[in-house]
Structure 1
């Protein structure tokens, strides 16, 4: 497949800079970006190319570039810190993914060292090892992994992460298609046992937006990221309910910028403009696009 050029780098950097000026921030912090071993990312892109069953629709990758260029794109946007979200889809993957991610973070100082785990007997030892390597944030993907967050095997994992006060970005909403263990009920049960757990619900929990807002209103350590929310791509099929915008505004200190870069079917700048289109204002955008994550990760 021919690699698409994507948006012009200089023009898009200028567009993002204009957004930052309007909002009043010098830089951004993106808690939901994907960097993976080359062969793994190639397989992820191939899955999107064929609109696999967990995608459910055409999904052209906008930034189909090598690792160095992807990092430079984020730096050109003045993304001060970003993650390397990666996730296993079967047992035996998490440890070597974590080793790769530790190396990536070591050579990419603006990356928040990211790790992952799977529902398997080695999960607790994998998490312990990743924490000892310096992991600052974890990714859990219930849709792709197909595991129950309330599995007894994972109970020690959640305990370790609670004790370490380490955030977990968790794809637990039922979008773009439901999984066996997605939706708000498993997360409510999990938080009932681990109230100190610091979860970041990816994609604002789409399509169960209001259910996850309700959880955030009940659990003051639960946060949400904005990945793909309010974009034309998402609004065409999974729109955020306008009636819930005041509730999102009230949670201004617990919403974080996420984008899914580079695995997005539109320019990065559109994700920012989509947030601006909510009308929630510059103060909300400053909190979401920089201040909340800066506080969470002590940046």
Structure 2
């Protein structure tokens, strides 16, 4: 990112600081947004909650402009304690949200799943989230998580540096497809490519598990059109809006204008995602970025609430 772009991001962050007054004002604007659409609130399928020491390591990585974020300047807008973050989502009117967490090495996923189950029990509005990694006991702990009530799984192909079509994951994908539990997967090659990112490995997974309820994170950026292809071929493939269409992302991975009609046609399978709290701009900006696409109020209502409400039975 150029120096001028970094300065623009800082200016936006200054406008929505951590002061109670500024956050109250933002919450009011967000409520006016969804209230104006006649919605009871928002459903955000891509928010991050994880053990505090793990989250702080993630924040340190962003602060250091790590290679997995493309070396970008990426200030964390909502760098707050867990209780403050959940309270803020409630103030925004987010009536349901996830706890996206993910391992970067073996022998980590089961522990994360234990933490996430406890977090869901003590956090109103949280959709019980779990995760997985290609390792010998993955099918066992995925089954345990589903039986414990997990509503959604998170897979991060870029950070985990694994092939989603790895043979060790096949029975787990089959289990999740049979249980109809959605999987939010970071599988696109943005903001920086990994060894196994991109549409081709996902196409191999879907060839074996066509009923897997896959939610492609970040609209699959930057391979937007290739992931739209997969969604058009597979009825259970969905996409989340996380960071897509925002000023920040449009500077280096713009969504192709020619694909907007396809986005409209898939309007019942696009879901609101934000990346809260790890976003370099105010939460409100993601909503405005969707609105300015000009795809209509019905599309916005579906994306911001109704599609996820149907998917999760809310």
TM-score, normalization: structure 2? Answer: 0.93
Residue 33 (str. 1) matches residue 47 (str. 2): yes
Runs of 4+ in 1 over 2 A off after TM superposition: 4-7, 21-24
For the residue of structure 1 that corresponds to 2:215, the secondary structure is strand
List per-residue Cα deviations over 1:203-244 (Å, max 9, x = no partner): 000000000011101101100000001100000100000000
Does the alignment pair 1:87 with 2:99?
A: no
Q: Which of 50, 63, 69 is the equivalent residue of 1:55?
A: 69
Name 2:294's counterpart in structure 1.
279
C-alpha distance in 2, partners of 1:24/1:235? 29
User: Which residue is equivalent to 1:192?
Assistant: 207
Q: 2:268 aligns with which of 245, 253, 261?
A: 253
Gaps of 5+ in 2: 1-13
Alpha-carbon separation, structure 1, partners of 2:67 and 2:160: 14
Q: C-alpha distance in 2, partners of 1:224/1:243? A: 17
Corresponding position of 2:32: 18
Q: Give the Å deviation of 1:25.
A: 1.2
1:295 corresponds to which residue?
Answer: 310
Q: 1:136-176: per-residue Cα shift (whole Å, max 9, x none)? A: 00000000000001111001110110111100000000000
Unaligned segments of structure 1, at least 5 residues: none
Q: Which residue of 2 aligns with 1:6?
A: 18
CA distance in 2, matches of 1:278, 1:139: 27
2:139 counterpart residue number = 124
2:127 corresponds to 1:112: yes
Q: Are 2:242 and 1:230 aligned?
A: no
CA contact (8 A) 2:35 2:41 kept: no
Corresponding residue of 2:216: 201
The reply to whether residue 77 of structure 1 matches residue 89 of structure 2 is no
The question of 1:171 aligning with 2:186 is answered: yes
- The answer for the alignment partner of 2:226 in structure 1 is 211
**Residues 22 and 282 in structure 1, CA contact (< 8 A), matched pair in contact too:** no
Shift in Å at residue 298 of structure 1?
Answer: 0.2
How well do the aligned residues superpose, as a CA RMSD in angstroms? 1.0
